[in-house]
Structure 1
Amino acid sequence: MRKRNSALIGIILLVLSIGVVFFYKYSDQIFLPKQPSSGSKKEIPVVDPIKDQIQDMSLKEKVGQLVMVGLDGYEMNINSQKLIQDYHVGGFVLLKRNVKDSQQLLDLVNTLKETNSINKIPLFLAIDEEGGRVSRMPEEFKKMPTSQKIGEHNNRKLSKRVGEILGKEVKAFGMNMNLAPVLDIFCNPQNTVIGDRAFGDNPDLVSKLGLQAMKGIQEQGIISVVKHFPGHGDTSVDSHVGLPIIGHDLERLMVFELLPFSHVIDNNVDAIMLAHILLPKLDPNFPASFSETIISEILREKMNYDGVIMTDDMTMGAIADNYDISNMAVKSIQSGCDIILICNDFSTKEDVLKAIHSAVETGIISSERIDESVYRVLQLKKKYSLTDQQVESVDVQGINSEIEQLYKDYPDL
């Protein structure tokens, strides 16, 4: 009996020992809270400050960001002040009529910034500085070579260097956007509006040199707006005075006119300007600047571009003489464009701003469509850290020294 009890006690002790070992070894697993499966795991919402900013904006502020305007004269005027303070326009483009000399241009840019300081969002301050005959810089600056001359050299380093100097000129005044380079392929001798503004008549040449010019501008902290999509090189009509018509189909465009644009899209282009040209084989009713086929189906979807798109000046003859500008501005936004450019006539600027505002209120343009474009605009302004900080002075001599050295290094420019 005593032996049987001893054996029983031994068995009990053995079982207890095994239990203790098991407890200490696996208790951490037994009492751990059950982890949710990967399918049921809650995602932490990603904070998007731009979306938050858009939610806090009024409709008037949103619409303003989708319009860039020109102004008259050498100084800030009451109309431009109203466009900033009452309509919250997203930016200004300065033309030759706005430039007298370096000090005057600097004062004008600084005044625009100071006036806009009441708004939360800084201005796009743009200028056309392509080099050659399309230059808005004050006369104190030495002239830059044409794109055609750069194309004749067929030199990537030269094109980028020219882009860098152009960017420095724009940056010197506190501006932040250059409407350049031109990516049109000059393939029509009657096309005087493009001519020597193009790098050449070969898609590969224009692609590689245009990309380098764009990079040179960007590396100075300046937004580069390439132009004129889908290609203004094979026209004989100047869109400033009439509506050019091009008979090419998409198959031809994809292997020729669109190649330079495709190349910069693959290399982080910031913004693309639309041309006021009609391509009946793509859209028989509307020019590229407000054609849904060209903007959304081709540029956005087929070419996979999700950056900023802006029109050329809507007061040019191609549009003003053939269409209602306000209605077509609405159509352009509907079709996927982000920024409407209006260089002339204060009443037209007001009409366009009011028309877009009304179109959103009445559901002609959805709030989602507006927010999509506002997001792109604010994203680009954030990318380049835009501010309304003023510039004290301009080093004309320093930039001219770089231009002089450029011509020394390339004497036949």
Structure 2
Amino acid sequence: MRAGLRGSLRNGVVAVCAVALIAACTSGHSSSSHQAGASATPARSTPASASTSTSASASTSASRTPTAAAGDCTTAARLAAWPTRRLALLTVAVPVAETSPQDVTSEVEAGVGGVVLFGTSAPSSLGSRLAALRERVPGRIGLLVMTDEEGGDIQRMANLVGSLPWPAWMGTHWSPAEIQQAVTEVAKRMSAEGVNMDLAPVVDVDGRDEPPSDSNPDGWRSFSGSTAVVTRDALAYMAGLRAGGVIPVLKHFPGLGGSSYNSDIAPAHTVPWPVVQRVGLPPFAAAIAAGAPAVMASNDTVPGFAAYPTGLSPTQLGVLRNTLHFGGLVITDSLSAGAISGAGFTIPQAAVQAISAGSDMVMFGLMSNESGETNAIADAIVSAVADGHLPRTRLVDAAAAVLAVRHEDLCPA
């Protein structure tokens, strides 16, 4: 891993400012007063302006909720009139094998907000199959089609879109400009196939020179063990995706560098909160300041600060919303993870807790009955709204975020 600083002076200034912002905004927090479940749903912020080089389909929205071009109509008002179940489904990203995306046609027809493609080699017909799937979306309001194209062994469709090396290799051998150029080419091909969201870049700061494993979720998935290097290279990766017409998703907030274990397998925790503040948060702060449209919240807990997995924790999501001033889409990591069941949640229960805490979209992994799980999640959310556990306004806001990230407006021009 390289230890030197690279990139433009501008990015260096962003990183320094990010550190100052975090220190200033979180210095008054104490672990005793910020336990998970104890705070209200985090407030909303307006995301930073997108770069002028960003394509319209991948840039962050100008406000948290899309608004109408004329009159008093707003997307939020339109959503408020939707049935609760339809709102609930819009917050779900359903998994499917990339070799047979048509398997989730019924879920798309019902109104899920996204699909997550799994696999290691995509068929040449993927683009036409995804186009057919989009035709089944109610009201033709679009669909988030996402996958993991990080580089190295974490690539789903390199056979179609081209291959990238591990981020750690990029961080050692490529300049930010080279990273951006390579990622742009991959993103253009992803977009051409109908994939409009990449669950990348990994913004975790982890310098361990090893592949990801059960004991280490990062390793070579991280650009570097240096906060400054991760900041620069993650910004370059994000810019490349956006230039290619693909929505980037920063992950895994608040940073998994030095994580105690892989939360996919079992409960895990981050390094102590003061270390997260100093080392892990600055790359997220810099990318958010640069207009990041989406963030994935991890399933790790944070010792001495938040007892729930981050995507289920109003405490941690409060840092994202209120300290880092992120106003875009928040997606959970997989609710099928061992860390979620280990915390005592079923997938539907975790989905309710996540939306209540401030996440906007939930996802889970491939299983034998994705349709049944999707319906169970929607049922749980509807019940939570009906019994008052989940404010309907929070659900409307989450649904609006799903539409906003892809620039869908429910009001006529």
Q: TM-score, normalised by structure 1?
A: 0.75
The count of corresponding residues between Structure 1 and Structure 2 is: 333
Q: Which has the higher relative contact order, 1 or 2, with Cα contacts under 8 A spaced 6 or more apart?
A: 2
The aligned amino acid for 1:312 is D
Q: Which residue of 2 aligns with 1:272?
A: 295
Corresponding residue to 2:235 among 186, 198, 211 = 211
Retained in 2: the 8 A contact 1:102–1:138?
Answer: no
Bigger shift: residues 147-156 or 214-223:
147-156
Retained in 1: the 8 A contact 2:199–2:249?
Answer: yes
Retained in 1: the 8 A contact 2:186–2:244?
Answer: no
Q: Which residue of 1 aligns with 2:75?
A: 50
The aligned amino acid for 1:327 is Q
Q: Which residue of 2 aligns with 1:261?
A: 284
Quickly say closer, same or farther: Cα 1:254–1:138, change in 2 above 3 A. Answer: closer
Aligned partners of 1:73, 1:212: CA distance in 2, in Å? 27
Q: Which residue of 2 aligns with 1:239?
A: 263
**Structure 1 vs Structure 2 CA RMSD:** 2.3
> Secondary structure at the residue paired with 1:244?
coil
1:230 aligns with 2:251: no
- 1:332 Cα shift? 0.8
Bigger shift: residues 262-271 or 357-366:
357-366
Aligned partners of 2:173, 2:72: CA distance in 1, in Å? 49
> Secondary structure at the residue paired with 2:139?
coil
Bigger shift: residues 195-204 or 367-376:
367-376
Aligned pairs (5 A) from 1:86-165: 86=110, 88-96=111-119, 99-103=121-125, 105-116=126-137, 118-139=138-159, 142-153=162-173, 155-165=175-185
Aligned partners of 1:236, 1:162: CA distance in 2, in Å? 32
1:334 aligns with 2:356: yes
More helix by share: 1
> Secondary structure at the residue paired with 1:382?
coil
Residues 183-238 of structure 1 show CA distances to partners (whole Å, capped at 9, x for unaligned) of 01114457643111111000011001101110110122211111000111212422
- 1:73 Cα shift? 6.6
Q: Which residue of 2 aligns with 1:314?
A: 335
Aligned partners of 1:195, 1:271: CA distance in 2, in Å? 23
Structure 1 unaligned spans of 5+:
1-44, 387-413
Retained in 1: the 8 A contact 2:98–2:118?
Answer: no
Residues 246-300 of structure 1 show CA distances to partners (whole Å, capped at 9, x for unaligned) of 3412x3222110111000110100000011111131113x11120110012x111
Retained in 2: the 8 A contact 1:154–1:209?
Answer: no
Aligned partners of 2:392, 2:293: CA distance in 1, in Å? 24
Q: Which residue of 2 aligns with 1:32?
A: none
Quickly say closer, same or farther: Cα 1:75–1:154, change in 2 above 3 A. Answer: closer
Retained in 2: the 8 A contact 1:131–1:166?
Answer: no
Quickly say closer, same or farther: Cα 1:72–1:100, change in 2 above 3 A. Answer: closer
Corresponding residue to 2:193 among 159, 173, 177 = 173
- 1:169 Cα shift? 2.5
Bigger shift: residues 168-177 or 185-194:
185-194
Structure 2 unaligned spans of 5+:
1-69
Aligned partners of 1:67, 1:340: CA distance in 2, in Å? 5
The aligned amino acid for 2:362 is I
Retained in 1: the 8 A contact 2:122–2:160?
Answer: no
Q: Which residue of 1 aligns with 2:28?
A: none
Aligned partners of 2:227, 2:300: CA distance in 1, in Å? 19
- 1:331 Cα shift? 0.8
Q: TM-score, normalised by structure 2?
A: 0.75
